[in-house]
Structure 1
């Protein structure tokens, strides 16, 4: 018999067979070492397999009424929730074709009835050990992937804030702007994976400002023609800093750095791109970036009110900005104002 702690830690084997006597035989073989659940048909087996906690391994008969074992295995492997549970067929069908079919469906092993207790225990033990090892390795990979993701995000944040440090020492601009682009992208129905990528890439939009002299970047008032030409080089500098990489994140960061000052009507820079020739990522960043720039005090300008900023952005719909994105930003403005308050500039 199990103690309470042993019952809790023992792994669970689901036995599926339409004959109660066969289940009883397998239960007797396994009970000294495992918890055993049983199902007399495929429908019940699928329900148990999807329950929480799930069985750690399934022993599956083939010849059953209504739904045979092959179909049960096929459905288990087609469901992301159950596809990783190892399945061992146990059947009186002993031809090479039967075994090959079972293994092709994703089973890890195939045993012939009548079963031999020692073989059953050995195969179950082996496949549970392999499954445990696979799960452990998967967990380690996930942990390392998350570590890399967090490290990457920290580097990106630092790079984005470095670009902002000259004229916005708190670095809050890139944080607010990142949230704004996420709100806009979701409002137009972009997939969450793309939204996440955009929010990570957006903070690097102005990284090229690192190459702009302070005399230009921090000059109060309007820039003269020469200084304005210098300022317009920051997309080029950003591309040089970021470089071109295979990474989806870095590719998006590069295209944003290069094209976030393009305008919907083609009057922007550096390429004079027009309409949908401008990457969607940059069209979204343009709205978010301008809104935050207008509503934030900088050395060379006062902060506009939200109403003033929204009025100006709506006036620029169809010229500077894609109209669809302006409308989307208007819809999410309440959430944007929450972001603005949460990440407001800290007054010294």
Structure 2
């Protein structure tokens, strides 16, 4: 969705409400919430859904335009009075977006390599404003190491239920719960059941700042819960800094034409996950947990028609592989990362 000239939009809205150009012009301009510029769609995608995005594209979109882009005589307002097609039949569900991506962390015989493929579909429920459902499937192909008996692949399957509510001009809230099974599909027991989620509150502090506070629930063997807190700062329509733990990010628009926009960004990320697995010839069940930290640089292109492509490269460090049984735990050498993502 392209950016909108807020002042021009507000003026045209005012004319419509007052019955034409000859109406009383002394009434203050009312600025309804419109979506952020196209950088609202920029998001880093976790290597595993077991690490939910703290501030994703839907959150940015629902929060509205950057406050500092409002004129002095404009104010935030709730949408609703000028209803279009109010008598139209509201569908039970509707397609919002689909995502497909690949991630590669190269490895050797002595260090773990991971090649991941992920697919998801986000469905909106128009009868329940702010509610969406996202089924997700991912597979991770594991390469090495020779000193431990990881399976050849592990899988992620989950369904995320998300609700976003804009309470007023200052406060917005977001809740998400995503039950799933994370396993090699040989150990499908309570060991492989995970329920991730997040609960966040957003506060508009000023015309250029918002604050985020809440928790991200990982339900992992190494870390069950992370606090999520920080600040979002807009420097201009094409520049934003998200000082948010555990996923800080800075984005900057480098190109804008009639058919596309291109954004560059740098980000930090906490990756990994836990999977129920069946180990070795003995065939005993265990839980494997992989974790890492990532520094990422990315380039996103949003094309006319809504398709979004993302290409990321990064440095992955502080890598660890641990088992619930404590048999075979070891530290893994740093590696690189490449990731490509399509949204349509």
TM bucket by the smaller chain? under 0.3
Q: Which structure dedicates a bigger proportion of its chain to strand? A: 2
TM-score after normalising by structure 1 = 0.21
Q: Which structure dedicates a bigger proportion of its chain to helix? A: 1
TM-score after normalising by structure 2 = 0.21
Q: Who wins on radius of gyration, i.e. which is larger?
A: 1
